[in-house]
């Protein structure tokens, strides 16, 4: 069901999926799923298959729509459009749903694809006191963590991603798209923030290479899931050209389920 509320003087919407087994008696996890540039919450639900995963694993999934109309859907604002703050909007969606449903406050998670993955990174940077783990897919980190709390991070990225190149993009290269750091630089930022060990456990299965940095504060981990030959696709959907065998919702939920918040929150949303 699509719900609407006023935030910062604007009508904002999100698609909400509550699993059929939810009875309000037992707190359940919340997963926020953020759409790609020009996408919608509905399109992201269809692409990510998180509603089906929510039914199987008994969590609530929510798919917010971006602030800016960008045909055929929406885009996100990182305060660059009249100060519109979609990090704060995601925080408000979490706060709103936590007041309406029995949400396990230690199991609040955020994932997203492309521009939605960039927003997932930004939420982790600013709202790590609220969010236990994030999972950006095919996305760049363009800021530094400002919230002191640790947050577990799963980064899913194709080695042949043309939108956010695996090895990064310099501002003077003359290519289309934003300048962005390499995936290894992004991993290093989160490893440092969480205080994880510098040497990962590395294992490969077919086209999937996982590097696990463990030992972070509050039991946090940083995991890189690199898809060899992967492009700018959501793993496992109908448009995934890599055929890696990875199913995004399965990989991400397995990671989320292993990483509840273990520290007391030092901040509040408001």
Give the range of the structural domain holding residue 182, as residue numbers without chain letter: 2-257
Identify the bridge partners of residue 64 per DSSP, sorted by sequence position: 14
- In this prediction the pTM is 0.94
H-helix segments, the chain: 41-48, 50-57, 86-100, 115-126, 183-194, 248-257
Phi/psi of residue 71, nearest 5 degrees: -55, 135
Q: Which residues contact 76 (CB under 8 A, 6 or more apart)?
A: 34, 37, 66, 67, 68, 86, 115, 116, 118, 119
Instruction: Find tokens 């729509």 and name the residue.
Output: 65
Cβ count within 10 A of residue 81: 13
pLDDT at 177: 62
pLDDT at 263: 58
How is 116-183 classified by DSSP, letter by letter? HHHHHHHHHHH-TTT-SEEEEES----S---S-S--EEEEEEETT-SSS-TT-B-TTS--SS--B--H
Please tell me the distance from the alpha carbon of residue 72 to that of residue 90, in angstroms, as a whole number. 21
> Does residue 207 lie within any of the structural domains?
yes
Q: Is residue 269 part of a domain?
A: no
| Number of domains, the chain | 1
Query: Does residue 174 form part of some domain?
Result: yes
Instruction: Report yes or no on 262 lying in a domain.
Output: no
Q: Torsion angle, CA of 230/150/16/244, rounded to 10 degrees?
A: 20
Which DSSP letter does residue 129 get? T
Q: How many of the other CB atoms lie within 10 Å of CB of 115? A: 27
For residue 242, the model assigns a pLDDT of 74
pLDDT in tens, the chain (270 residues): 899 999 999 999 999 999 999 999 999 999 999 999 999 999 999 999 999 999 999 999 999 999 999 999 999 999 876 789 999 999 999 999 999 999 999 999 999 999 999 999 999 999 999 999 999 999 999 899 999 999 999 999 999 999 999 999 987 655 556 789 999 999 999 999 999 999 999 999 999 999 999 999 999 999 999 999 999 999 988 777 778 889 999 999 999 999 999 854 444 444
Give the integer Cα–Cα distance in Å for 221 and 214.
Answer: 5
On whether residue 263 sits in a domain, the answer given is no
Helix axes 41-48, 50-57, angle to 10 degrees: 70
- Whether residue 268 is contained in a domain is answered as no
Task: Evaluate whether residue 76 is within a structural domain.
Answer: yes
Alpha-carbon distance 267 to 270, whole Å?
8
What is the rounded CA–CA span in Å between residue 2 and residue 62?
10
φ/ψ region of 174 (left if φ > 0, alpha if ψ in -120 to 50, else beta) reads: left
CATH number at residue 91: 3.40.50.1820
**Would 270 be classed as within a structural domain?**
no
189: closest CA among 130, 133, 144? Answer: 144
166 Cβ neighbours under 8 A, 6+ residues apart: 157, 158, 159, 160, 182, 183, 226
> What tokens appear for 13 in the block?
């919407």
């Amino acid at each position: 069901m699509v719900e609407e509320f006023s935030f910062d003087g604007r009508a904002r919407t999100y698609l909400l999926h509550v699993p059929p087994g939810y009875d309000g008696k037992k707190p359940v996890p919340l997963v926020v799923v953020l759409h790609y540039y020009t996408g919608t919450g509905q399109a992201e639900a269809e692409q990510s298959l998180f509603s089906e995963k929510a039914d199987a694993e008994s969590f609530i999934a929510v798919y917010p729509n971006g602030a800016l109309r960008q045909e055929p859907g929406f885009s996100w604002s990182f305060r660059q459009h009249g100060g519109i703050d979609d990090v704060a909007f995601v925080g408000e969606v979490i706060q709103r749903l936590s007041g309406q449903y029995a949400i396990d406050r230690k199991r609040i998670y955020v994932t997203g694809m492309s521009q939605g993955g960039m927003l997932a990174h930004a939420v982790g940077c600013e709202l790590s006191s609220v969010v236990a783990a994030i999972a950006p897919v095919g996305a760049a980190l363009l800021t530094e963590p400002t919230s002191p709390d640790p947050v577990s991070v799963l980064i899913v990225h194709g080695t042949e991603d043309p939108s956010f190149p695996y090895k990064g993009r310099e501002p003077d290269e003359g290519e289309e798209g934003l300048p962005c750091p390499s995936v290894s630089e992004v991993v290093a930022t989160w490893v440092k923030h969480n205080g994880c060990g510098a040497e990962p456990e590395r294992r490969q299965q077919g086209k999937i290479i996982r590097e696990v940095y463990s030992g972070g504060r509050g039991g946090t981990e940083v995991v890189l899931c690199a898809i060899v030959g992967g492009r700018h696709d959501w793993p496992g959907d109908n448009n995934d050209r890599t055929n890696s065998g990875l199913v995004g919702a399965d990989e991400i939920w397995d990671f989320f389920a292993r990483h509840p918040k273990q520290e007391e929150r030092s901040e509040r949303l408001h």
